């Protein structure tokens, strides 16, 4: 590995400073900034430095890791996390919910006169995932009004959570929705001459957006019927993934479904789930 990396100002990110950042981020939120991530870290730090008018990596890092820089530390976490997401991403999960998962869940719960359905979108990014879950449930529960459906949508990035709460998306982002879904679940709006779509009150009313760092204590026990933690654990190392998979299992109801990203895997992890289809697991 290079001992230092230069930014355009001739200022260098030393190996020591890179390690300080990667260690502190790993401890804080589990994101594994290995050596291959150096260019990304350097570019993202440089961007923050330009915004705050710092000309030295060392000084910026000292500030971000100090008590006075607590607020900046959150911006640093925001800038180092990857937020890529989209509506109905990895469609097969939503198809699995529609059939066979939901009909079976509704049948079992009806028999028990339990009308609560609890869902967790862990690492929800800008909200497309929990809104897609809400649409799927509203559309596919025949007597929806009699059910008490709640979705917890959480993320460690405060900035991205604010966007999720706002639920405003431009035309290109809402393309995966059908015309009927747009009509029913989105409210068209105009912001500075640009056509945008706002998630409807109906969607917003069943989703609670919360800051939650998966590495810390969780202030609830569940049980959830559905947990989506997709394209989050890919940024963690195997021992961290294994710990999390176990913790999710404890919060999932028996027969509940756990979905991970299709580029993630439970291989090599001791777990209590039954494989249902790729990236989809049922708690036994």
**Residues assigned a catalytic role:** 44, 155
- CA quadruple 142, 224, 157, 5: dihedral sign: negative
Using the contact rule CB under 6 A, the part of the chain among 2-10, 34-42, 192-200, 231-239 near ligand SAM is: 231-239
Nearest CB to ligand SAM, comparing residues 5 and 252: 252
Does 245 bind ligand SAM (CB under 6 A)? Our answer is: no
- The interface with ligand SAM within residues 114-173 (CB under 6 A) comprises 123, 125, 129, 155-157, 160
Binding mask 104-123 for ligand SAM (x = CB under 6 A): -------------------x
Give the DSSP H or E segment for 140: helix 128-140
- The interface with ligand SAM within residues 210-229 (CB under 6 A) comprises 213-215
Q: What is the 3-state secondary structure (H, E, C) of 216-263?
A: CCCCCCCCEEEEEECCCHHHCCHHHHHHHHHHHHHHEEEEEEEEECCC
Min CB(14)–ligand SAM separation in Å: 26
- Short-list 241, 258, 250, CA closest to 30: 241
Q: Rounded CA gap, 3 and 281, in Å?
A: 43
Nearest CB to ligand SAM, comparing residues 42 and 230: 230
Min CB(182)–ligand SAM separation in Å: 20
Answer for which of 42, 89, 118, 283 binds ligand SAM (CB under 6 A) is 89
Nearest CB to ligand SAM, comparing residues 30 and 256: 30
Distance between first and last Cα of the chain = 45
Burial category of 157 from C-beta neighbours within 10 Å (exposed 0-12, middle 13-18, buried 19 and up): buried
Min CB(211)–ligand SAM separation in Å: 9
Nearest CB to ligand SAM, comparing residues 129 and 225: 129
Taking residue 87's Cβ as centre, other Cβ atoms within 10 Å add up to: 19
Taking residue 82's Cβ as centre, other Cβ atoms within 10 Å add up to: 13
| DSSP character at residue 37 | G
Q: Which tokens go with 131?
A: 């809104």
Contacts to ligand SAM by CB under 6 A:
29-31, 81-85, 89, 123, 125, 129, 155-157, 160, 213-215, 230-232, 235, 261
């Amino acid at each position: 590995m290079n001992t230092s990396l230069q930014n355009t100002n001739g200022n260098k990110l030393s190996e020591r400073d890179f390690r300080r950042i990667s260690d502190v981020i790993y401890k804080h939120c589990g994101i594994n900034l290995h050596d291959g991530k150096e260019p990304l870290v350097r570019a993202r730090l440089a961007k923050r430095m330009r915004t705050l008018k710092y000309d030295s990596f060392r000084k910026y890092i000292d500030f971000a890791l100090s008590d006075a820089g607590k607020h900046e530390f959150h911006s640093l976490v925001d800038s180092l996390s990857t937020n890529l997401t989209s509506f109905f991403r990895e469609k097969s999960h939503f198809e699995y919910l529609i059939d066979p998962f939901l009909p079976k869940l509704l049948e079992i719960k009806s028999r028990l006169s339990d009308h609560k359905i609890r869902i967790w979108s862990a690492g929800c990014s800008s909200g497309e995932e929990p809104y897609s879950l809400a649409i799927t449930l509203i559309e596919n529960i025949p007597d929806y009004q009699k059910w008490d459906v709640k979705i917890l949508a959480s993320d460690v990035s405060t900035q991205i959570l604010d966007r999720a709460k706002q639920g405003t998306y431009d035309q290109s982002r809402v393309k995966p929705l059908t015309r009927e879904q747009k009509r029913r679940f989105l409210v068209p709006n105009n912001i500075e001459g640009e056509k945008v779509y706002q998630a409807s009150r109906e969607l917003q009313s069943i989703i609670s957006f919360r800051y939650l760092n998966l590495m810390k204590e969780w202030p609830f026990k569940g049980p959830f019927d559905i947990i989506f933690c997709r394209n989050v654990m890919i940024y963690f190392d195997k021992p961290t993934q294994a710990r999390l998979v176990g913790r999710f299992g404890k919060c999932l109801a028996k027969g509940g479904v756990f979905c991970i990203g299709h580029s993630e895997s439970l291989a090599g992890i001791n777990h209590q789930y039954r494989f249902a289809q790729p990236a989809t697991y049922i708690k036994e």
